[in-house]
Structure 1
Amino acid sequence: MNLFLDAIAWIFNPALQSAPGALPQRIAEHLGYTFGATAIAALIAIPLGYYIGHTGRGRELAVAFTGGMRALPSLGVLILLALGLGIGFKAPLLTFVLLAIPPVLSGAYAGLQSIDRNVIQAATALGMTPLQLLLKVEIPLGLPLLIGGLRAGILQVVATATLAAYVSGGALGGYIFLGIATRNYIEMLGASIVITALALALEAIFALIQKFVTPRGVSALSGRINRAGAPRTRGATHAPEQRTLA
């Protein structure tokens, strides 16, 4: 308990707030890696995921790719890239981009493929072009799962960004590696608490965003099915709506 209280005191130590390599600077570097890597991953993975989800092509390859990428050892990839790119922020950033791509890619194509085919057929029957179908139907309905993929990517990177300090890339991992070298357990625990707090805060923020972007009708329909205990079959799900429209 004393160690935990000492770690909390370390976090709020005024000397740590303004010294070279201060805690706010390390937090900013940590968040910079997190959002920077996820943004780059999103630019790569979202268009590819939408293509796979919209056309249905390459899904097996995407599943195999994301599974293989998730199996990569983060530290091993970081060291290999550092040997090629040198010491600094480039190797950690590229490593974290590779970590963030699989969940974002999965969220993008799974969001589109989870849409009921009856909805797609109805939109097509109304005369929508493939582009209109993608922009007005598939992307809005698939947005919750895409946000879920971004949420998973953010959490993956914020937890792994501590490794950046291993190749002098800064971030909060610097306190942990320094604490290991000097056996300063208070510093190690304090940095770990800050990283955990960042992860929990980002998880809460993206959970709220995911809930906010979920279409109200979709979430309400899902809730009714769950409470009734009915199977999620297309016929059972859409029969009441069809009778109402008729």
Structure 2
Amino acid sequence: MSTQGCLAANDWICGEYLRSRSQELIDATVQHVWITAVSVVIGLLVAFPLALLARSRPTFAGPVLGLTTLLYTIPSLAMFSLLLPLFGLSAGLVITGLVLYSLTILVRNIIAGLESVPEEAREAARGMGYGPGRLLWEVELPLALPALMAGLRIATVSTVALTTVGSIVGRGGLGNLIEDALPSFFKAQVLTASVLCVLLAVVADLLLLGVQRLLTPWTRIRPARTSRRKAAPTGPADAVKAVG
């Protein structure tokens, strides 16, 4: 069957659909990426001070973790309905909902990363005169990066999937195409939009993994290299201990 006939036959794979609707697919993908990126960035900016608050004041840890967990359990349709009076049918409605959903993952991973920092690294830094701010930015955060980046990757992939739900207000990126195609069961559109959504999640995860490897070069040091001679400092903690 020719590619021109695959639309009439409603095939799952149709080259003619890709050619005739290419701009529509590009626009939906750009919207999907934009909503996802903005939601994750804002989520990280909100989660970071919440995690610091929970860590520095244990009495706040329970309420912060409990609230973020509670938000994650709210169904997306209910969440958007609750936010509708504040934001109307706008992209802000979807972004706010996605930010709230990302908090439970990001806050927990940031706290876990900071708690995994060896106490001897902190003590060595304090002995060298590091104040709380410098200790956080130059010692604790670099060592917490693996856990933080793991949470960021999970939150990003989750947000890519949840963005499709924004189609209920016309701000769902590729989800808009899926919702539009379902009533008539337009197979090519459903499959193409779904595959693009999966590809976005995979590409985002791989990009963040690459960023993580660039920011944490000491995690790639092979143990065999250090077994033959005294190991040189390979990370922030080792550097602090070596100087101390």
CA contact (8 A) 1:11 1:190 kept: no
Corresponding residue SS for 2:89 = coil
Shift of 1:51: 3.9
Distance 1:118 1:81, change over 3 A: same
| Aligned with residue 133 of structure 1, among 131, 135, 146 | 135
Distance 1:138 1:191, change over 3 A: same
- Name the structure 1 match of 2:154: 152
| Aligned with residue 164 of structure 1, among 152, 163, 166 | 166
- Name the structure 2 match of 1:30: 32
Distance 1:175 1:189, change over 3 A: same
Distance 1:108 1:53 in 2: 10
Which residue identity is paired with 2:18? Answer: N
Aligned-residue sequence identity (percent) comes to 25
- Name the structure 1 match of 2:79: 77
Q: Which deviates more from structure 2 when the two are superposed, residues 51-60 or residues 199-208? A: 51-60
Distance 1:130 1:36 in 2: 30
Distance 1:200 1:160 in 2: 15
- Name the structure 1 match of 2:206: 204
- Name the structure 1 match of 2:49: 47
Which residue identity is paired with 1:195? Answer: C
In structure 2, the gaps of 5 or more residues are 1-5, 225-236
- Name the structure 2 match of 1:227: none
CA contact (8 A) 1:30 1:172 kept: yes
CA contact (8 A) 1:37 1:94 kept: yes
In structure 1, the gaps of 5 or more residues are 225-237
Q: Which deviates more from structure 2 when the two are superposed, residues 155-164 or residues 142-151? A: 142-151
Which residue identity is paired with 2:74? Answer: L
Distance 1:94 1:11, change over 3 A: farther
Q: Which deviates more from structure 2 when the two are superposed, residues 42-51 or residues 149-158? A: 42-51
Distance 2:199 2:35 in 1: 16
Distance 2:130 2:89 in 1: 52
Instruction: Count how many residue pairs are aligned between Structure 1 and Structure 2.
Output: 221
- Name the structure 2 match of 1:60: 62
CA contact (8 A) 1:82 1:167 kept: no
- Name the structure 2 match of 1:228: none
1:119 is the counterpart of 2:121:
yes
Q: CA RMSD in A?
A: 2.9
Corresponding residue SS for 1:108 = helix
Per the normalisation by structure 2, the TM-score is 0.79
Which residue identity is paired with 1:17? Answer: S
Distance 1:87 1:134 in 2: 40
Shift of 1:55: 5.8
Which residue identity is paired with 1:177? Answer: E
- Name the structure 2 match of 1:174: 176
| Aligned with residue 193 of structure 2, among 191, 207, 228 | 191
